Amino acid sequence: MAEIDKTLKVQKIENGTVIDHIAAGKGWEVVKLLGLEEYGGTVTLLSNAYSKTKGKKDVIKVENKQLDKKEVNKVALVSPEAAVNLIKNFEVKEKFNVSLPQEVTGILICTNPVCVTHFEPCETRFAVESKDPLTLRCAYCERVQSKVEFK
Amino acid sequence: MDFISTRLLSKDMIEDILKSAKGFEAKKDFSHVLKGKLLATLFFEPSTRTQFSFQSAIERLGGNVLGFSDTDGTSIRKGETLMDTIRMMSSYVDCIVMRHPKEGSAKLASEVSTVPIINAGDGSHDHPTQTLLDIYTIQKSFGKIDGLNVGVCGDLRYGRTGRPLSLGLSNWDVKMHYISPPQLSMDKGTIKYLRDKRIEVTEVLKIEDVIKELDVLYMTRIQRERFPTEEEYLKFKGVYVVDERIMGMAKQDMIVMHPLPRVDEITVEVDNDPRAKYFEQAKNGIPVRMAVLEKAIKED
């Protein structure tokens, strides 16, 4: 029985991107963050899968799409330990850990309710002041926040 | 150049402005400095000192001014965005001074403006020219800033002066003392920022707890417009008051400052005390804002 639990229930993909080692339960947020709901191809989300190191993890497989490195680095906002595998002909062509950018544009909401970004047609922008613990500073109201809220 | 955020003003820049302001205070004729330049003062919220001192400053420098002090009769009432208002106004003038209720509005304005933006208050966030004139007043009174004990009292959470003053003074070796009820205390992010810069910070509940140590007591108004309800406002109004009794406990050379307008927090009997500097502080707004305007427009 234990052997069955340790086996991934999803087949290997021929071409595409596998985001592995996503914190358990965070896969749904990653799907939303990367806009994969809009992607017309096959996307598989494995939630609470077995993990040797953490006990549980989420995994996302995106078929026939090589995700852009800059784009996929946003995943670090919700799961800093996630790893990305770019797959071609069933083989891992490139592997990297996600890394937070210096600046996060457009995807987060400022937690300050009177920040101008809630009232004007503009994109939000945050400077990443610290990665651990996560500390973001709004480029407009300069309020520091550690909570991440997506638009 | 823009004046948006006190946090982003370097010590060199602040000292440069203080030096230039001192020059303007001593000079007799400076009407040629910004001759032919046009300033817009866009006040989406009412102001007395800030708006008139900017108007006075630009006219003394030979420039002219246009603008509004409330949004009645403007396209803003028709639903025009701030971004569009700024885009349009920046094509009419050489510099914009703006007060707006939303935090971060000055930064946003600077991103769409083709001329320099001077933040004259964006909600509770910042008011850099107030901080510059505050620091100017302190330096003028003591001839130095290093080594001073500065108390900031009142509404430290919703007020727009205590936080930027602290950020500005953090370029020097000062000790900050915050005096407020817990509900109106200085935000933790600012205290962490100061401590990271090795500024010693204390927080106390009453003026009496720290008055004997202070070189500067900076009073702020418990502001009605910052409270969600009248009940909340009345709860704190008049809790922190400087009167003859408090002045009797203070050092002989301690100065009392206030960004004005005051309500109950400094009694009129203190006005005649030579340590009361708040009217001189307001007056210092003119040379300091002249220095800021010159810097903003000439270094555009």
In the three-class reduction of DSSP (H, G, I as helix; E, B as strand; rest coil), residue A69 is classed as helix
Q: Is A42 found in the same domain as A75?
A: yes
Domain count, chain A: 2
Q: Find out whether B120 and B126 touch, Cβ atoms under 8 Å.
A: no
Q: Quick one: A93 and A56 in the same domain?
A: yes
Residue A19 in domain: yes
- The domain that contains A117 carries what CATH number? 2.30.30.20
If you search the block for the tokens 């246009």, which residue do you land on?
A: B66
Q: Which of these is catalytic: B6, B41, B50, B85? A: B50
Provide the mean pLDDT of chain B. 94
Q: Is the peptide bond before A133 cis (omega within 30 degrees of 0)?
A: yes
Is residue A122 predicted with pLDDT exceeding 70? yes
Say how far apart CA A50 and CA A24 lie, in whole Å.
Answer: 10
B108 Cβ contact partners less than 8 Å away, ≥ 6 residues apart: A116, A117, A120, A122, A140, B82, B83
Give the CA distances from residue B88 to residues A114, A138, B29, B81, B108, in Å, rounded to whole numbers and listed in that order.
24, 26, 33, 11, 14
Task: Report how far residue A113's alpha carbon sits from residue A119's, in angstroms, rounded to the nearest whole number.
Answer: 10
Q: Using the predicted structure, report yes or no on whether residue A82 has a pLDDT greater than 90.
A: yes
Taking an 8 Å cut-off on Cβ atoms, the answer to whether A119 and B104 are in contact is no
Amino acid B214 reads L
For chain B, list residues whose CB is within 8 angstroms of any CB belonging to chain A: 5, 7, 81-83, 100-105, 107-108, 111, 122-126, 189
pLDDT confidence tier of residue A1, bands split at 50, 70 and 90? very low
User: Looking at the domain that runs over B6-127+283-298, which CATH code has it been given?
Assistant: 3.40.50.1370
- pTM equals 0.90
Please check whether residue A150 lies inside any domain of the structure.
no
CB B220 within 8 A of CB B180: no
d(Cα A80, Cα A71) in Å, to the nearest integer?
14
Tell whether A26 and A53 lie within a shared domain: yes
> Do A44 and A86 share a domain, yes or no?
yes
Largest CA distance in chain A: 56
Write down the ipTM of this complex: 0.91
Strand partners, B204: B179
Q: Give me the mean pLDDT over the A137-151 stretch.
A: 91
CA distance B240 to B228: 20
Span(s) in chain B for CATH 3.40.50.1370: 6-127+283-298, 128-281
Determine, yes or no, domain membership for A120. yes
Closest among B11, B13, B5, B8 to B299, alpha carbons compared: B13
Given CB atoms, is A66 within the 8 Å cutoff of chain B? no
- Given this model, what pLDDT does residue A88 score? 96
The tens digit of pLDDT for each residue in A28-68 reads 999 999 999 999 999 999 999 999 888 999 999 999 999 99
SS3 A139: coil
**A81 and A44 within one domain:** yes
Q: Which of A121, A140, A141 lies nearest to residue B83, judging by beta carbons?
A: A121
Q: Among A112, A120, A143, select the one facing B108 at the smallest CB separation.
A: A120
CB of B50 closer than 8 Å to CB of B130: yes
Domain hosting residue A120, numbered range: 103-145
Residue B300 has what pLDDT? Answer: 77
pLDDT of B4-40, one tens digit each? Answer: 999 999 999 999 999 999 999 998 789 899 999 999 9
Q: How far is CA B5 from the centre of its chain?
A: 11
For the four alpha carbons of A87, A88, A92 and A97, in that order, the dihedral sign comes to negative
* Whether residues A77 and A141 fall in one domain: no
Contact B102 A114 (CB under 8 A): yes
- Spatial separation of the C-alpha atoms in residues B272 and B270, rounded to whole Å: 5
Contact A140, A126 (CB under 8 A): no
Query: How much is the pLDDT for B31?
Result: 86
Q: Are residues A24 and A7 in the same domain?
A: yes
**Paired tokens of B90:** 């920046």
Give domain status of residue A151, yes or no: no
Alpha-carbon torsion A90, A93, A97, A98, what sign? negative
Using one digit for the tens of pLDDT, what is the confidence trace for A3-27? 555 555 678 899 999 999 999 999 9
Domain identity same for A66 and A113: no
Nearest to A114 among B7, B103, B189 (CB): B103
Question: One digit per residue, pLDDT tens: chain B, 300 residues?
Answer: 999 999 999 999 999 999 999 999 998 789 899 999 999 999 999 888 899 999 999 999 999 999 998 877 677 777 899 999 999 999 999 999 999 999 999 999 999 999 999 999 999 999 999 999 999 999 999 999 999 999 999 999 888 999 999 999 999 999 999 999 888 899 998 999 999 999 999 999 999 999 999 999 999 988 776 666 888 777 777 678 999 999 999 999 999 999 999 988 999 999 999 999 999 999 999 999 999 999 999 987
Q: Say whether both A91 and A121 belong to one domain.
A: no
Residue B284: C-alpha distances to residues B27, B52, B53, B135, B138 (Å)? 14, 13, 9, 10, 11
Q: How far apart are CA A77 and CA A98, in angstroms?
A: 9
Three-class SS state of A65: coil
Residues A82 and A115 in one domain: no
**pLDDT top residue among A80 and B225:** A80
CA–chain centroid gap for B35, Å, is 26
Q: Which one, of B70, B74, B114, B120, lies nearest residue B95 by Cα? A: B114
Provide the CATH number for the domain formed by B128-281 in this structure. 3.40.50.1370
Q: Check residue B182 and give its pLDDT.
A: 84
A115 and A80 in a common domain: no
Residue A57: C-alpha distances to residues A35, A67, B140, B182, B228 (Å) = 20, 20, 62, 42, 44
Q: Which of A59, A75, A97 is the last residue of a domain?
A: A97
Q: Give the per-residue pLDDT at A55.
A: 93
How far away is chain B from the Cα of A143, in angstroms, using its nearest Cα?
8
Q: What is the CATH number of the domain that holds A10?
A: 3.30.70.140
**Nearest residue of chain A to residue B102 (CA atoms):** A116
What are residue B203's DSSP bridge partners?
Answer: B178
Judgement on whether residues A87 and A118 belong to the same structural domain of the protein: no
User: Is A80 inside a domain boundary?
Assistant: yes
